[in-house]
Structure 1
Amino acid sequence: MLHRLLTVLFVLLLGHAAQAGPIRIKDLVEFDGVRGNDLVGYGLVVGLNGTGDGLRNAPFTEEIMSNILERLGVNVAGEQFRPRNVAAVIVTASLPPFARAGGQIDTTVSAIGDASSLLGGTLIMTPLNAADGQIYAVAQGTIIAGGASIEGDAAQVVQGVPTAGVIPSGARVEREVDFDFANLETIRLALRTPDFTTAGRIEQALNRNFGRGVARMLDAGTVALDIASTRQPSPAHALARVENILVEPERRARVVVDQRSGTIVMGEDVRISRVAVSQGNLTLRIQEEPLVIQPNPFSDGEPIVVPRTEAAIEEEPGIGLAEVPDGTSLSEVIAGLNALGVAPRDMIDILKSIKAAGALHAEFVVR
């Protein structure tokens, strides 16, 4: 009864979502050139409470620690040290578009050795490089780890992932990405979900809003915007007006199922052709009940174990043979399957079989 109620509620929510109305262009597209850049660096975390790398198992930690100390004027050549309060880490960050020198961005720190926790550690100055090999930011600061670890003599309890953490505003931008945005003559709008109908609606909405032909659909995923035709002072002014124009996107019929959790998500455009459905379950039961025969008293015999196996096959009553009429909508399909008492996991198998029969007219995604 509970899963029926949840499914019906979900269908009602889908119905309200379908009537939500148009969506802003800024939520449907990416503006060509207005993008972030991934950064990565290799650094050292210090100040750990005995939870760092074992230098015998992670020699790269000793190497980077020696390099840092030598840059600070400490000669450690030929010295052997085995501290447990340092850990080698990979530092990642994303440089947002139009980031300026001196700005700060968040960073993520992850251990790459055998450190058990980064709690309480401090990241030493770490250069962050982009794909072109240039340094665009430098990270440093105290790590906020997302877990906890408690270890005793005979047991250990770990909650979350203490070997990874973040440093809010932990990197400072040192180099800007060269991008002459102010002198662009044309900007392409890249749809996050390519669709010819949606791209055509974006083109029509832009031309209607500006009162002239300022946009042209190039393909299912691209709409070109002529900046000069918008008669705006700059490309920034043009995009500020464009991104808030409302467009109703076209959605593809799609069914998404998660077999691990038994979750089913279907769009309102899903349709099913006329098909008959029958479903039932077989249960095999095998039980071992060995019989032990003891020898007579005061005899030299040995106990004998006689194997005894009891096997049975049980067939649970199925839903019978049910007919699904042609052109059935999502709400009708769910209501029919619920009326037949189909569990969510059985419903996944039924939908897969209907798709295999060619009667489910939607993209079927299994996760």
Structure 2
Amino acid sequence: MYIVKKRQKLESKKLIRGLSAFLSCLLFVISSACALSSDSITSALRQARVKDISSIEGIRDNQLVGYGIVVGLQGTGDSQQTTFPAQTLASTLLRMGVSVPASAIRVQNLAAVFVAATLPPFARPGTKLDITVSSAGDARSLEGGLLLMTPLYGSDGKIYAQAQGPLVVGGYSINVNGNSKQYNHPNTARVPFGAMVERGVPLDLEGKKQFSLLLNEADFRTAEAMALAINQSLGRPAAHVLDSRRIDLLVAADEEIPALLAQVESIEVPVFPRAKVVVNERTGTVVIGGTVVLQPVSILHGGLAVNVVSEFQVSQPNALSSGGTTQVVQQTRIDAQDKPVNRIELKQGATVDDLVRSLQTIGASARDVISILQAMKSAGALEAEIEVL
């Protein structure tokens, strides 16, 4: 009797061990599946750095603009009909002690230009900037020209930089005996490091207790994800979402601001972009985002082509006839052709790739694609925002 009970105990212990081993294996499989699913979801999200999808309020570029003259052109400058280049040259010579009336100036190797530059944040006196020079008159080309010293002004009317230097033109224009050939736009040129900063925009970070991050594309979900990622990286509740574009960042006591901003800008956060279709009707370009959702829809697309042809025929009088004259008679012919209707059917789960392939199959042009997309949006079959450039 004792032996039988002992065997039963041993068998029950083996059964318990087997069940525990089975449960542990089951838990391991479930945890692995959950980890795989979470990894797949995480990898499916679009990741981007904070510095690529947002900017810091107050740390920004500033636009500069100026007016000057370009000299040294080989007869391709402004004509005499453009009066202000001569006036500019006369005032420039007057500052140098040469008094010449503007009406007496007859030169074609100079051109009046506008100079544009961008002043980056934290720029100090002596920093060099790239500038863009564009003709303001009727000059044919700026090739070989030299920009004379030109002050660059900010929006407040103050001078922030001085520009001067030889122009780099990415094109040319040749006119010989009435024949012309042009490549690119020779009326616009660049001067690498052609401007030198004379006055910087003061921006002191010392002592600031708070900064604001501004999203390039307003989105509440992205803003919440960014604040959560920043707080996890810093280990403290430093970021707080105010709206769909602005996230406030608090600076801790005795914390170095440049190091804090460098750490925050390098954090990768999930991005949830809007579903958007971008259409450029001038060039016929259509860009469809990967997050665009299509609903089941049937599309019937046809067209009507109208062709108007005018021909000129010569009508002559019969031989030996009197009083007849030769006349040119215009003959107009109108041809109308109704193109057959093409059908596209998108079923449940159709993707953007299916739509593009179907449109290519029926031979739809870019203009047809734009019309079809707008009609699909009106019918509720295109769950995306259409932006027309």
TM normalised by structure 2 equals 0.80
**Where do 5+ consecutive residues of structure 2 fail to align?**
1-42
CA distance in 2, matches of 1:77, 1:305: 58
* Superposed displacement of residue 306, structure 1: 8.7
CA distance in 2, matches of 1:121, 1:293: 59
Report if the CA contact (8 A) 1:182-1:236 is conserved.
no
- Residue of structure 1 equivalent to 2:83: 59
Does residue 107 of the first structure (1) align with residue 131 of the second (2)? Answer: yes
Deviation larger for 66-75 or 332-341: 332-341
Residues 317/176 of structure 1: CA separation in 2 closer, same or farther (3 Å cut): same
- Residue of structure 2 equivalent to 1:271: 293
Match of 1:360 among 349, 372, 382: 382
Residues 253/93 of structure 1: CA separation in 2 closer, same or farther (3 Å cut): same
Partner SS for 2:341: coil
Partner SS for 2:188: strand
Q: Deviations over 1:191-231 (max 9, x none)?
A: 111111111111000001111100001111111111127x6
- Residue of structure 2 equivalent to 1:330: 352
- Residue of structure 1 equivalent to 2:277: 255
Residue type of the partner of 1:263? T
Match of 2:260 among 197, 214, 238: 238
Report if the CA contact (8 A) 2:165-2:194 is conserved.
yes
Deviation larger for 45-54 or 330-339: 330-339
Report if the CA contact (8 A) 1:198-1:248 is conserved.
yes
* Superposed displacement of residue 261, structure 1: 4.0
Report if the CA contact (8 A) 2:133-2:189 is conserved.
yes
Q: Equivalences for 1:14-33 in 2 at 5 Å? A: 19=44, 21-33=46-58
- Residue of structure 1 equivalent to 2:157: 133
Does residue 316 of the first structure (1) align with residue 339 of the second (2)? Answer: yes
Residues 32/275 of structure 1: CA separation in 2 closer, same or farther (3 Å cut): same
Larger Rg belongs to: 2
TM normalised by structure 1 equals 0.84
* Superposed displacement of residue 62, structure 1: 2.2
- Residue of structure 1 equivalent to 2:145: 121
Residues 313/172 of structure 1: CA separation in 2 closer, same or farther (3 Å cut): closer
Residues 140/22 of structure 1: CA separation in 2 closer, same or farther (3 Å cut): same
* Superposed displacement of residue 342, structure 1: 4.4
Does residue 172 of the first structure (1) align with residue 168 of the second (2)? Answer: no
Partner SS for 2:273: coil
Q: CA RMSD in A?
A: 2.7
Q: Deviations over 1:89-141 (max 9, x none)?
A: 11111111111111111111111122222111111111111111111111111
Deviation larger for 161-170 or 56-65: 56-65
Report if the CA contact (8 A) 1:185-1:226 is conserved.
yes
- Residue of structure 2 equivalent to 1:96: 120
Residue type of the partner of 1:136? Y
* Superposed displacement of residue 339, structure 1: 5.3
Residue type of the partner of 2:209? E
**Where do 5+ consecutive residues of structure 1 fail to align?**
1-17
- Residue of structure 1 equivalent to 2:63: 38
Report if the CA contact (8 A) 1:269-1:329 is conserved.
no
CA distance in 1, matches of 2:110, 2:329: 62
- Residue of structure 1 equivalent to 2:8: none
Q: Deviations over 1:264-298 (max 9, x none)?
A: 22122222333321112233355567887765543
Residue type of the partner of 2:123? A
* Superposed displacement of residue 313, structure 1: 3.7
| Matched length | 346
* Superposed displacement of residue 156, structure 1: 2.4
CA distance in 1, matches of 2:211, 2:312: 79
Report if the CA contact (8 A) 2:45-2:271 is conserved.
no
Residue type of the partner of 1:315? D
* Superposed displacement of residue 58, structure 1: 2.5
CA distance in 2, matches of 1:304, 1:40: 62
Q: Deviations over 1:27-86 (max 9, x none)?
A: 0001111111111111121111122223x4232222221222222222335882212222
Give identity over the alignment, percent: 40
CA distance in 1, matches of 2:97, 2:284: 60
